Structure 1
Amino acid sequence: MPTDSRHRWNHNTHYYPAVLDTAPAGARTALDVGTGDGLLATDLRERVPDVTAIDSDPAVLDRARETGAEVRWVLGDVMTYPLPEEHYDLVAAVASVHHLPDLASGLRRLADLTAVGGKLVVIGLARSASISDYAMNVAGTVQHRVLARSRGFWQHTAPMEMNFPHTYAQARRIAAATLPGMIWRRLPLFRYSVTWHNQRR
């Protein structure tokens, strides 16, 4: 059975192409945070020669290894595992930052792992609390029905946490304060994105 995201559609894999397109030209290193079933790491490995994927769940990481991709699979907590700082040309976190104990410290940690000139991209989840949020939810529901019917819906095996600690507005304020110059987008399919370019000198 195919193991990459092109053959398995859900709300997370839908945004993998956008994550892949964020990789800087000539990227040599990438980090997939909360890799889950390892599909994004597998896709990244087709573009980036050195990919590390980290997850704190041993069972799901074992399943990720079954992809057979030449990826460095790491069992650990991204907040404490001794990953090299300012090393990764692309740091990607899809549906994982709401699992961290604190969003601001989590984003700072991911930024510290991003190489100078590299990109950090987060696809996150949050709580709806405004009229615009609920309007986006309606659009997302319609999009889900259309795409699930045409592509099928694949349920990943990673543990899910549906208790979101922040609203979209709160997540945006925290990201703006933590990652100056970040680009925020509210996405359909109940997601948001944060993209940050490490221009520290």
Structure 2
Amino acid sequence: MPETYWNHNVHYQRLVLKLVPEDCAHALDVGCGDGLLAGKLAARVPYVTGVDRCAEAIAMARERRPGNVSFVAGDYLDGQLPEGKYDLVTAVAVVHHADFGEAVDALVRLLAPGGRLVIVGNARDRTLLDGVVRLSGQAVSHVLKLLHGGKRGPGVPVMDPVMSWGEVGRAAGRLLPGCRFRRLLLRRYLLVWDKPR
């Protein structure tokens, strides 16, 4: 599925794809939006589900659906998705729309034993260093946007994060022992955790 637009989230989809476990049979993309990442996952994973609570986004996703992807209009927090089913759960720019602990607990419940959680998230700037990193990222973002033709993509619900980078890192370490957390440019972080078997 070709990319037809660029934004910060699309930029990190390549990184998400590198983290797909080798034996992954079932993947879930939480907050799938128009289905761009779910479609890319479908090239590597036999069964992919995309879930989003925005019905308009799901309608767009269904228009571009590869045969091995199903899209669900719903909320991953409401317990409607099957627990313990997915070998990979991805959440790009989604977790900050809910309480961090509740979001992580829900995502972990969806993972199969041995499954992998990959979160590309947003956090709040609180320090001078945060501001410097943000300004550096904005410069990079401007260049990347020009290189990709300036197309922004479909509008999606936006919410400012309430937790700082440090708060997210500490909470992740507490809730997901052994996780890997790192800050990325373009106002994102990467969180990767493998569920014990």
Shared fold per TM-score greater than 0.5: yes
Unaligned runs of 5+ in 1: none
- CA drift of 1:72 comes to 1.1
TM-score by length of 2: 0.94
TM-score by length of 1: 0.92
- CA drift of 1:152 comes to 2.4
RMSD: 1.4
Which segments of structure 1 move beyond 3 Å, counting only runs of 4 or more?
none
- CA drift of 1:177 comes to 1.2
1:101-141: per-residue Cα shift (whole Å, max 9, x none)? x1111101101111222110001111101232122112211
- In the alignment, residue 88 of structure 2 is paired with which amino acid? L
> Match of 1:147, SS?
helix
Contact 1:92 1:122 in 2 (8 A): yes
Give the distance between the partners of 1:133 and 1:98, measured in 2 at CA.
17
Aligned to 2:87: 89
Aligned pairs, number:
196
Say if 2:31 is the partner of 1:47: no
Aligned to 1:134: 131
- CA drift of 1:158 comes to 4.3
Give the distance between the partners of 2:27 and 2:13, measured in 1 at CA.
14
Unaligned runs of 5+ in 2: none
- In the alignment, residue 142 of structure 1 is paired with which amino acid? A
Q: Bigger CA drift: 28-37 or 153-162?
A: 153-162
Give the distance between the partners of 2:6 and 2:156, measured in 1 at CA.
17
Give the distance between the partners of 2:149 and 2:178, measured in 1 at CA.
37
Contact 2:35 2:65 in 1 (8 A): no
2:18 aligns with one of 18, 21, 30: 21
> Match of 1:17, SS?
helix
1:116 aligns with one of 113, 116, 123: 113
Change in CA separation of 1:159 and 1:148 when aligned onto 2, cut-off 3 Å = closer
Say if 2:149 is the partner of 1:149: no
Change in CA separation of 1:174 and 1:19 when aligned onto 2, cut-off 3 Å = same
